[in-house]
Amino acid sequence: MASSFFALLDDIATLLDDVSVLTKVAAKKTAGVLGDDLALNAQQVAGIQADRELPVVWAVAKGSFVNKAILVPSALAISAFAPWAVTPLLMIGGAYLCFEGFEKLAHKFLHSPSEDKAHHAKLVKAVVDPEVDLVALEKDKIRGAVRTDFILSAEIIVISLGTVAASPFITQVSVLSGIAILMTVGVYGLVAGIVKLDDAGLALSCRPGALARQTGVALLRLAPWLMKALSVAGTAAMFLVGGGILTHGIGPLHHGIEALGAAASGIPVAGVLLGALAPLPARRRCRCGRWRAGVGRCVAGAPPHGAQGRCVTGDAQLWLEAGEARHARWQSEAGVPPPARVRFADDTLSADAAYKLACEGTALLWRGDFHNARQLLQALARRVDRQQARRARDVTPGASPADLFHRHRQQQGQRARVLGMLLVAIEADGQIALRRAPDVRAACAQAWGDAPLPCVVSLRELQGVVGAFEWRRKGVPLPVLGGASIHPHYGVFSPVRGEYLDLVAQAPLPAISLGFDIGTGTGVLAALLARRGVARVEATDCDPRALACARQNIAQLGLSGQVTVLQADLFPPGRAPLVVCNPPWLPARASSPVERAVYDEDSRMLRGFLSGLAEHLAPGGEGWLILSDLAEHLGLRPREALLQWIADAGLQVAGRLDAKPRHAKAADSSDPLHAARAREVTSLWRLRIV
């Protein structure tokens, strides 16, 4: 019963992911109609007595709910039984929006001001003339407003239906119902506030306080200008929304406008105006039956029309866009090969559909809003995690820690592959040509150097690049350095676990003349030794990124006179009375460069350090080996093997300092490796020559 309940919660959470994203997209597309709806409904109550304005607005709101109760089921029926009619209805709605906008402009420029004044005078006379039937006038106003609302509501529902046409039925019901309720409550709540704005101003202007009077006068002056502003905004939105729908429905016109927009991108006003005509890519079916988005050709379908997306040999990524072949360098820090299948995706793609495509190995080249891409990535992560949590229940009871570890790493790899299927293109100027995309030029240049652009990269990796850029900028403050910060570079492991630093800070120094730091990384141990009084420290690493990172940190800490950073495979030339090494702790294959600080296949660095330590240790000196016993608790490397390697190298253990980890995973009972992590101990082994 409990498992069924949580499975139901999973399904509900999955549905809500899609509903939230698609409702946001639908609300954006219908915002133009909303502006006009506000203006028209506020104008509909003109000629009504002040004490009857709110009852009239409430009556129209109830009529609006009835309208949507008719329109939403009708729209769902069209989507279920006649999906081919969605696009024609969208085109009709777009054409009607443009017609309404043109009609308003025509009325403005073709009617004389005297006609408008006569109409206004007629309304005023109706209010004060006792012979006029105010009840009939009020009912007539309500009927007219409800008819107007029906037309505008139909436009809103049709546009929203176009957004969710390819989504599951339950998602369509949720989005259309949500839009109907949101728009009705929002519009008529605002209308009620607008029509009573002048009354509020009048009441405040009659109060004794100077501030109240001034506020009241300001509201009275604001009210007519607000109505005019809403009317202008609604008219402009009609042309933008209606024109966007029409241009998306006419392929050649859409491509022509987009080409003009690209050509005029350097002209501030022209580029913005042309881009506004196509703000959101539309989804259409190709002859192969697959959905295609925006200006992209179908890159997921079969080859009948020769537009199947594929990766080509080498590091190029090829796809077809606006009828032209495009290529860009494939960027992957982990050396992941480019995906074999690529298709376009935008804000209209549901998280469920995206997850299915990603699991099938189809990469999604994003062409929608950048923030929506981030939300989609989070939704994909939740789906992967839920799926893996379900599979975790099927683990064989009594499985060994090593089996659990390998299963955990396999799941991590699968998670990375699925999340790595959401791609973004970085243009030749280093920018991301997506709405609301951040400026990533500095972060990419810092991480990739002079790597050629344009390129295609997974959004997940790009987020890592931006996160590393911010981490490097802010730094990691360390108490053992007196609160000074270490600034890790991209691809260099950050000293996030402080217990091993405490061990190095507490261990008694055998000498202070010279020290070696083997595999320095960020240079934190070399800096710590220098701060403890070691006169000269030679820090080595073989990774160019680590060398640059260590040199910068040493310089920023003002320790360049004591610490020298050298490129070497393990040891520098000569001997030292103190040699420190913090090798990777787990004997497993690293899947990315940054993981080499954690995983060391066959314990190569550990064994290399132990076997070469005696040749580089001065008489009476000590070698400090910093190592966690997590590998022992996972069954990856027994303690006996470590002791045997020490003995075979002609070394002996002079002492050992231990510390319990303080990181969050050590106390996380939901972690699949919690049993091993809870017993983990980090040790500083003091080794001497026998």
What is the structure's pLDDT at 379? 93
Q: Give the amino acid at 25.
A: V
Q: Give the amino acid at 136.
A: A
Name the residue among 482, 483, 522, 478 with its Cα closest to residue 498.
478
How far is it, in rounded angstroms, from Cα 350 to Cα 367? 14
Q: With 0-12 CB in 10 A as exposed, 13-18 as middle and 19+ as buried, what is 530? A: buried
Asked if the model's pLDDT at residue 25 lies above 60, the reply is: no
Which H or E element spans position 655? strand 651-659
Helices and strands (H and E) in the chain: how many: 23, 18
How far is it, in rounded angstroms, from Cα 357 to Cα 419? 11
Q: Per-residue DSSP letters for 286-351?
A: -TTS-EEETTBPPSSS-GGGS---EEPSTTEEEEEETTEEEEEEEE-TT-PPPPSEEEEE-TTS-H
Per-residue pLDDT band for 4 (boundaries 50, 70, 90) equals very low
Tokens 């002048």 correspond to: 198
Q: Is the dihedral of CA 244, 246, 251, 257 positive or negative?
A: negative
Please work out, in degrees rounded to the nearest 5, the angle formed at the alpha carbon of residue 437 by the alpha carbons of 431 and 438: 75
Q: Which residues pair with 538 in a beta bridge?
A: 516, 564
How far is it, in rounded angstroms, from Cα 456 to Cα 425? 4
What is the structure's pLDDT at 24? 52
Name the residue among 135, 117, 129 with its Cα closest to residue 56.
135
Helix, strand, coil abundance in the chain, percent, nearest 5:
60, 15, 30
Q: Kindly list the distances between the CA atom of residue 54 and the CA atoms of 60, 191, 519, in Å, as whole numbers in the listed order.
A: 10, 9, 75
102-124 b/e (C-beta count within 10 Å ≥ 16 → b): eebeeeeeeeeeeeeeeeeeeee
User: What are the pLDDT digits (tens) for 469-505?
Assistant: 998 999 999 999 988 999 999 989 888 778 889 999 9
What is the structure's pLDDT at 626? 94
Name the residue among 549, 568, 682 with its Cα closest to residue 625.
682
Q: Kindly list the distances between the CA atom of residue 412 and the CA atoms of 10, 333, 415, 666, in Å, as whole numbers in the listed order.
A: 20, 16, 5, 18
Structure-token pair, residue 390: 């379900």
User: What are the pLDDT digits (tens) for 643-689?
Assistant: 999 999 999 999 999 998 877 776 777 777 878 888 889 999 999 99
Tally the residues of the chain.
690
Q: Give the amino acid at 208.
A: P
DSSP state of 519: S
Structure-token pair, residue 290: 């697959």
How far is it, in rounded angstroms, from Cα 491 to Cα 465? 9
Structure-token pair, residue 522: 């960020």
What values do phi and psi take at 298, rounded to 5?
-65, 115
Q: Using DSSP, state whether 37 is helix, strand or coil.
A: helix
User: What are the pLDDT digits (tens) for 499-549?
Assistant: 889 999 999 999 999 999 999 999 999 999 999 999 999 999 999 999 999
What is the structure's pLDDT at 6? 37
Name the residue among 166, 373, 179, 187 with its Cα closest to residue 289.
166
Q: Judge contact between 12 and 174, C-beta under 8 A.
A: no
DSSP state of 431: -
**Nearby residues of 394 by Cβ (< 8 Å), 6 or more positions away:** none
Q: Using DSSP, state whether 384 is helix, strand or coil.
A: helix
Lowest mean pLDDT among 53-67, 553-567, 618-632, 639-653: 53-67
What is the structure's pLDDT at 249? 65
Q: Which residues pair with 576 in a beta bridge?
A: 617
DSSP state of 663: S
User: What are the pLDDT digits (tens) for 341-379?
Assistant: 888 899 888 999 999 899 888 899 999 999 999 999 999
Cα(first)–Cα(last) distance of the chain, in Å?
Answer: 64
Q: Using DSSP, state whether 423 is helix, strand or coil.
A: strand
Asked if the model's pLDDT at residue 305 lies above 80, the reply is: no
Asked if the model's pLDDT at residue 439 lies above 70, the reply is: yes
Structure-token pair, residue 27: 């609300």
Strand ranges inside 348-444, DSSP E: 362-366, 422-426
What is the structure's pLDDT at 122? 61
pTM (whole model) above 0.85: no
What values do phi and psi take at 339, rounded to 5?
-65, 150
